[in-house]
Amino acid sequence: MSTIPSDINFRMNAAAAAARARGAKPTGETTAGGDVSVALYCVGSFDGYANEDELASLELEEIAAPLIAAARTLLAVSDELRSSDASFLESADGLAMHAGIAFAMHGNFPSARTSVLAANQVYRTLTAARRLAWAVCDPAAIEDIIKFADNNTDEVLFYRSWKRALLTVVENAKGTSEQLLRSFAVSPNASDAALMFSTAVAFRQGFRLAIANLKNTVPQLPSSFIARLIDAGRWTLLPPQRKLLADKGLAQSKTNTLLNLPTSTGKTLLAEACLAAALAESTGIAVYVAPYIAIGDQVLTALKSHMAEDIEVVAMFGGFKSEFPSADPDTKQILVATPERFDGWLRTTTDKARLKIIVLDELHCIENGSRGARMEGTITRLRLLQDAGAAFRLVCLSAVLAEARGLRDWLAVSVSDFHREGWRPTARRLALCRSDGTMTWMYATDALRPAGAQFGTPSSGSIKINLPEMVVPFRGEYVPDKDSIAASRNIAAIAEDLATRLHGPGLIVCPRRIDTRRIAAALAETVVASDTSKIRLTEIAARVELNHPWLSGLASMIRAGVAYHNSTLPFEVRRWVEQSVRDGDLTFVASTTTLAEGADLPFRWTLVSHWLRGVYAGAPPINPLTFRNIAGRSGRAGSYSEGDTVLFESLLGPNGAVLSNPNERVAAISKILTDNSPLNSSIANVDENMEERETQAVKAAFSSQLMAAIPENPHSEDIVSRLAGASYAANSGSLDKLALLFTNALNEMLDSSAVGGAFAVRNSPVSLTELGVAANRSGFSPGTVRKLVEFLNEETLSSNPIQLVANALKQFAGVPEQSNHYLIKICESDSHRQFLKCADLASVVSFWLSGRSTREIFESLPTFIKTKSKPESIEAQFENFVGFVDSVMQSFAPWLMRSMDALKAFGTEEAQSFDWRGLAEKLESREDNSSVDFFE
């Protein structure tokens, strides 16, 4: 065991070094040299670790805390020196190498690699000791490192045998390489000698974590899966991955599992292993449910790359749709689906018996409004299917769960199948920037905080950022543009300050789409792209301008190394922006929360530019869970070893109690930062803390789930109690609310006097009528289905598809499943300032079906043609229009048409003869004719 005297406060040194690296005054009185001394001492205390138990103990924070603190300290001092004086560069490089080895001893090879690569290549390759340390921290770079070995036979032999040891886990190769490593241990340079002494521990840890070990420890995993992971450059597992796969048998387990692992600890790979093991023995269907398309895309790519060729990986993204490509019963398939698509598939598939495993990513999304209700309902139905004997397994993933007992009970996850891991590869730093520009870092959930420091205790002295504008709550309902623009300048000032202190690309999370554009514009006024990025950014900017001429403003920003990212941007532009972040070219990206929550991009820091969810009267504070999720994503493992999240106390918004009252503001912000409450069912806030429309949407989503549950539980005498009782609501204190909702929904379904008749009959048990079966296929709530049946029975039903879609949109704008406020507004009256009018809907549908680009359709609107608005206002109008297109034209309208198809048998003859499904497919598959591929 390590021997750290109790009077060595390594936590305080780590905090002090972190503060100084950020240009802030430490709270403890230490010096950089003192911090280095403590850190090197701590590393030295572990450098005799050799056997399995000792190496395993280095994964545990309670034992390895001095080592983790040391690694962070060394890297922080290295950063501090690097930005202070050129004469310290060699020391900075040396400390980065020592930090790398310390991280590797802890099994944190992503941060080990990041650290050694922070050292200048000349320093890193000057001596054999440093090259060997680099090879141990970053084994995938061995072929590059060999080039620097000066034909030193023993050194080259070490690299070859180390590579062989990792890829084959053959003990002989390990023994040979370890012996060779020892032969380099004596160095005249004390730093190199110390480095080599500790490198031996890192070496053993690397061998222990070699992914190739899985061949022996988890024989249920197909060897082709392991081989493909290695081919993809993954040579070592992260400690939680090794523990869960090798020690806990996660992949081959047949029981439901809940994984609560921090971001960047490799949940996706664990899920992949579960999928691979489930399909290893026999044919069947595995499902990965991803709530964000960005995550689904990443998972899809990974699965296609890692799974054996006999496994078909199918993407099921987009809105509600029950169609599914037919599957041969002798095949192995993995469906990567959004919750809506999975729900649709589950309602109609005849393949339920072939289901082997369902991975549910981002489980905490069950808390989020109607989408959460659909997820909760679908998972509850899966649980009931399991209770009825279905043999599939549920694997649920989340990074941000707090108390999980209710979840475990709901999911039937035993204590031993609930895995909560604190191990994380990246240190998470949290700071609050007050409205006057005073910024203070604080301790968060990090286990390394000094004794007595609570969550929220300052970990540094304050720094002051000069904010150029005075922004105060506005005394009116709508905030004027000039206030928003001024607020954007303040955010830009904070972002620039963070970029100077923390380096690396930063993400600025904005409450509204318009803010993303304004903040990016404010930054682009002063920022200049680096020379290394300029050529690539110029190329991207040219591509944007060529394909989307109205985005010339964005193109200019991109040239400066700045971009905004929101749903109004064409899909391909969003992907270009994301790629530029991955390539390290963009310095700042201002986005809405979707990017922050969904994509795994290498941002060094995140600035949450407002603590409220919007800039309108009564806007609620950000959900603490959303904030935790965003905060967990900055500082991606493998790119950075630290991630900072800064919350800004913006005062932008209409004068209201929570915004204007300092005490209420402080309390609300404190809750965002520290609240650790268990997840709620989305039903919990219905009728109380939820807007009316959202309440209706949640109720509709749950009602629809009841309809789906009826045929899935044909023997249930009391489907309401059964479904409600199996829900998460029942496990989190909202059973009565949900049961009442279901009771009302069932009564509505049983009402035979309503249009079209009853959806269900109480034959004890309840069963669906033919109408009910069709309604269930639609995915809509009973109330909305009634309206659909009414629509299909209208005598004036147009035979013109364009007019049909336009009429349907007008009539169904207000149903709870329709979430676009813009459509509601334009259909309610014409006394609004939007460019799109209700009367324009038919021409919009027409242009949409003809393949016109979104911009072209927008510019064809009569209001646009005659407008004299400023470009800024036009772009704001366009953003609303794009939101309408995304939500309504691409998703809601096809959903409506598919539902008409399902229900047409209950309409007029005209309705029955119409090709609704064909129209839905046309709406979905229309091609944007205006886009020209830059490379063509």
Partner 1 sequence: MISRHRHSAPMFKSIQTGEVRNYVGDPSCAAAYEWILDLLRDTTAAWLPKAEDFNDRIKGNIGEFVAFHVTKKDVGSGWYIFYSNTDTPLSRISGAGLDICYLFLGTDLTGAADKLMIQEIKTTGSSALTYADALVTDYDKLKSVDPSLNLQARVRALKARMRDTYGITDRLILERVQLLAHPDPSKCSKVYFLPTLVHELKNSDPALRLSTVKKKIGAQGWSVSLIFPISIGLTRLNDGFLHLAQNKSFEP
Provide the binding-site residues for partner 1, judged by CB under 8 A. 3, 5, 7-8, 31-34, 36-38, 40-41, 43-45, 47-48, 77, 81, 88, 90-91, 94-95, 98, 182, 185-198
For residue 628, the minimal CB distance to partner 1 (Å) is: 35
Q: Which of 762, 757, 183, 73 is nearest to 427 (CA)?
A: 73
In the bound state with partner 1, the residue whose beta carbon lies nearer, of 448 and 774, is: 448
In the bound state with partner 1, the residue whose beta carbon lies nearer, of 82 and 699, is: 82
CA distance 424 to 428: 9
For residue 103, the minimal CB distance to partner 1 (Å) is: 15
CA distance 841 to 888: 11
Specify the length of the chain in residues: 936
Measured CA distances, 92 to 44, 67, 97, 641 (Å): 19, 19, 9, 16
Q: Give the type of residue at 726.
A: A
For residue 73, the minimal CB distance to partner 1 (Å) is: 11
Measured CA distances, 304 to 96, 232, 287, 300, 308 (Å): 36, 12, 14, 6, 8
For residue 637, the minimal CB distance to partner 1 (Å) is: 25
In the bound state with partner 1, the residue whose beta carbon lies nearer, of 40 and 652, is: 40
For residue 459, the minimal CB distance to partner 1 (Å) is: 21
Confirm if 423 and 239 have CB atoms less than 8 A apart: yes
Confirm if 78 and 40 have CB atoms less than 8 A apart: no
Query: In which residue are the tokens 């005062």 written?
Result: 651
In the bound state with partner 1, the residue whose beta carbon lies nearer, of 12 and 221, is: 12
For residue 635, the minimal CB distance to partner 1 (Å) is: 24
In sequence order, the β-bridge partners of residue 395 are 257, 359
Measured CA distances, 730 to 422, 683, 735, 737 (Å): 28, 10, 4, 9
In the bound state with partner 1, the residue whose beta carbon lies nearer, of 183 and 414, is: 183
In the bound state with partner 1, the residue whose beta carbon lies nearer, of 94 and 782, is: 94
In the bound state with partner 1, the residue whose beta carbon lies nearer, of 43 and 726, is: 43
In the bound state with partner 1, the residue whose beta carbon lies nearer, of 178 and 856, is: 178
C-beta neighbour count of 295 within 10 angstroms: 20
For residue 87, the minimal CB distance to partner 1 (Å) is: 10
In the bound state with partner 1, the residue whose beta carbon lies nearer, of 44 and 765, is: 44
Supply φ then ψ for residue 834, to 5 degrees.
Answer: -75, 150
Q: Which of 838, 62, 883 is nearest to 422 (CA)?
A: 62
Distance of CA 841 to the CA centre of its chain: 34
| Strand 438-442, strand 427-433: pairing | antiparallel
For residue 605, the minimal CB distance to partner 1 (Å) is: 25
In the bound state with partner 1, the residue whose beta carbon lies nearer, of 94 and 561, is: 94
Distance of CA 95 to the CA centre of its chain: 33
Q: Give the type of residue at 457.
A: T
| Strand 605-608, strand 642-648: pairing | parallel
Which residues, including other chains, have CB under 8 Å from residue 893's CB and lie 6 or more apart? 805, 808, 809, 845, 923
**315 three-class SS:** strand
| Strand 605-608, strand 506-509: pairing | parallel
The structure tokens listed for 325 are 């490509």
In the bound state with partner 1, the residue whose beta carbon lies nearer, of 119 and 166, is: 119
CA distance 434 to 393: 47
Which residues, including other chains, have CB under 8 Å from residue 9's CB and lie 6 or more apart? 28, 38, 450
For residue 8, the minimal CB distance to partner 1 (Å) is: 6
Segment (H or E) for 248: none
In the bound state with partner 1, the residue whose beta carbon lies nearer, of 7 and 143, is: 7
Q: Which of 365, 398, 363 is nearest to 682 (CA)?
A: 365
For residue 176, the minimal CB distance to partner 1 (Å) is: 18
In the bound state with partner 1, the residue whose beta carbon lies nearer, of 17 and 590, is: 17
For residue 20, the minimal CB distance to partner 1 (Å) is: 11
Q: Give the type of residue at 100.
A: G
| Strand 427-433, strand 463-464: pairing | unpaired
In the bound state with partner 1, the residue whose beta carbon lies nearer, of 39 and 334, is: 39
Q: Sheet holding 311-316: strands in order across?
A: 311-316, 332-337, 284-289, 355-360, 393-398, 257-260, 418-420
| Strand 605-608, strand 588-591: pairing | unpaired
In the bound state with partner 1, the residue whose beta carbon lies nearer, of 189 and 457, is: 189
For residue 21, the minimal CB distance to partner 1 (Å) is: 12
Segment (H or E) for 565: strand 562-565
For residue 193, the minimal CB distance to partner 1 (Å) is: 4
For residue 96, the minimal CB distance to partner 1 (Å) is: 10
Segment (H or E) for 429: strand 427-433
CA distance 539 to 535: 6
For residue 91, the minimal CB distance to partner 1 (Å) is: 4
For residue 11, the minimal CB distance to partner 1 (Å) is: 14
Q: Give the type of residue at 398.
A: S
**141 three-class SS:** helix
What residue spans of 566-715 are helical by DSSP H?
Answer: 571-582, 593-598, 624-631, 657-660, 662-674, 692-712
Segment (H or E) for 22: none
For residue 488, the minimal CB distance to partner 1 (Å) is: 40
CA distance 320 to 342: 8
CA dihedral 552, 558, 564, 568 (to 10 degrees): 40
In the bound state with partner 1, the residue whose beta carbon lies nearer, of 415 and 451, is: 451
In the bound state with partner 1, the residue whose beta carbon lies nearer, of 82 and 548, is: 82
For residue 404, the minimal CB distance to partner 1 (Å) is: 40
Confirm if 351 and 327 have CB atoms less than 8 A apart: yes
In the bound state with partner 1, the residue whose beta carbon lies nearer, of 129 and 278, is: 129
